[in-house]
Amino acid sequence: MNIRIIHKSFINHRFPLIITLLIFIAFRIPWMNEGNPLEFWGSMFIQISIALFLLYFTQKYAIIRQKTLLPAFFYLLLVGTNPLFFYDLRGSVSSFLILLCFLFLFATYQNPSSQRNALNISLVLALGSFYWVPLLLFVPLFWQGMYLFKSLNSNTFFASLMGLVVVWLFLFAWSIYKNEWIVSIQALPNWSALWDFRFPTAMSMKDWITDIFLGILLILSTIKIFMVGVSEKVQTKISFGYLLLLTVIIFIFLLSQNQWEKEWLLIVYVPLSILLSHYFTLSNKPTIGWLFLLAVVFFPLKHLIFLFL
């Protein structure tokens, strides 16, 4: 078995991605009648859309030097083999909104006149907070992104604040017009939910195995970005540095707000899929190929084993 050919086929060829998509759908069939059909089909459609949107995003901004299908592959692999996400419409929508904000953020790179994109980011997060409040926690994280991309200044910061304020002003104006103050107040996000910290009391063996394996892959990706990939452009290193920082912070949110485990996991898999794709795309070493093959079989096999235990 030529591991390099197998590894390269996953990077460049569409057939493995199509097979992964079919497996993604097939894993859901036994759970089709376990809950709300709208949540089931809505989650599946949005998660597939995120995977395809990841391809568009990474290729539009040339985040990975080589054209690759791995961002979609890894997202489908991580999300599609875990029944925890089969009915999580809220987490799927939130993940899509964060990816949409990535599109606006990366357009601001070294562009001090990025008021429109800064406004778009805050509008998306403010509107999304009515559906899931913790999206507001990403506002300072995207400010940090604009700072790293050298686009944060007084104008973009003010535009970002305006995006938040304009949503609430519209709600306030609507309440005056309708003379329905109580409805307006009830529609506001529950701010206290942002500071509702619930740490996990215990973790299953499956969670420990998954976290350790993903942690190893993340460490290897970090080493490649900052220590090995000296030939990378400055923009690429800044981009991956930000995605790495975001991944770590979301993992902290995951541990400190465990009541929203599904939502945080679905969100963290967005930047993590990009980081893993970068690590596995730009190397032809047999050891990397075998590690990639291990990742391909690890996630579906892990869930199948624990399903029948």
Question: In this predicted structure, what is the pLDDT of residue 304?
Answer: 64
- Rounded to whole angstroms, the Cα distance separating 45 from 50 reads 9
Confidence at 169, pLDDT banded by 50, 70, 90: confident
Q: What integer pLDDT is reported at residue 206 of this predicted model?
A: 74
pLDDT of 306 higher than 80: no
How much of the chain exceeds pLDDT 90, in percent?
A: 37
The Cα angle at residue 263 between residues 292 and 247, in degrees rounded to 5: 50
Q: For residue 305, what pLDDT band results from cuts at 50, 70 and 90? A: low
- pLDDT, one tens digit per residue, over 94-149 is 999 999 999 999 999 989 888 999 999 999 999 898 889 899 999 999 999 999 99
The 10s digit of each residue's pLDDT in 32-49 is 888 888 999 999 999 999
- Asked if pLDDT for residue 299 goes beyond 60, the answer is yes
pLDDT tens-digit map of 53-103: 999 999 888 888 788 889 999 999 999 888 889 999 999 999 999 999 999
pLDDT tens digits along 229-252:
555 677 788 899 899 999 999 999
Q: In Å, how far are 150, 152, 239, 249 from 265, measured between CA atoms?
A: 29, 28, 21, 12
The Cα 309–Cα 307 span in angstroms is 6
Phi, psi of 83 (to 5 degrees): -60, -15
Please give the pLDDT value at position 200: 67
Q: Where are the domains of the chain?
A: 3-28+36-191+204-308
Tell me the C-alpha distance between 252 and 265, whole Å.
Answer: 11
Mean pLDDT across the chain: 84
Burial (0-12, 13-18, 19+ Cβ within 10 Å), 186: exposed
Section 214-227 average pLDDT: 83
Q: What is the pTM of this model?
A: 0.89
More confident residue, 38 or 5: 38
